[in-house]
Amino acid sequence: MVTELSRRLDAHQRSRIAELDLTPTQAKALEELGEPKTARELAAVLCCEPPNVTYVISKLEKQGMVVRRPHPADGRAKQLVLTEAGRELRLDLLRRMGTESPLDHLSHEQRSALRDELLRALGRATDAA
């Protein structure tokens, strides 16, 4: 059942991402850039090599979604920062991903209980613990 749910959630996310003409990696980058990050930090979160992130970010930069700015604490590094259009696209993406999800029929309490049980199954502590 977990595998089937995972497939349904993945299909739902992919369809929502496609509605915005994004690749899954671009969508994940937008999600993760709610706060500025360096390319190295983003690569670590995306579990890929920095050159791959550079390619993804270059495409988002050309679309006016991301800019590179000097890092405030490290003069050698650049931070990736969403533009206003990038922030709007990110919010639209997050809204779409939360709409008509396979879990929509669950109440807040049921979602919390499911989250806690899945964390327990993974051997990780829950907030309630």
Does 41 reside within a domain?
A: yes
Residue the block writes with tokens 């613990």: 129
pLDDT for residue 77: 86
Is 129 within a domain? no
Q: What is the mean pLDDT of the chain?
A: 91
Handedness of CA 52, 58, 60, 63 (dihedral sign): negative
Q: Looking at the domain assignment, is residue 124 inside a domain? A: no
Dist. CA 55–CA 58, nearest whole Å: 5
Q: What is the pLDDT at residue 60?
A: 96
Task: Judge whether 120 lies within some domain.
Answer: no
Token duo for residue 46: 């995306």
Containing structural domain, residue 67? 23-96
Which pLDDT value is given to residue 127?
55
Q: 52: domain CATH number?
A: 1.10.10.10
Residue entry with tokens 């090599």: 49
Q: Is the pLDDT of residue 125 over 80?
A: no
Domains contained in the chain, number? 1
45 falls within a domain? yes
**104 within domain boundaries:** no
Give a yes or no: residue 127 inside a domain.
no
pLDDT digits (tens, 9 = 90+) for 57-109: 999 999 999 999 998 888 888 999 999 999 999 999 999 988 888 888 889 99
pLDDT above 50 for 129: no
**Residue with the two structure tokens 């749910």:** 5
Residue 125 lies in a domain: no
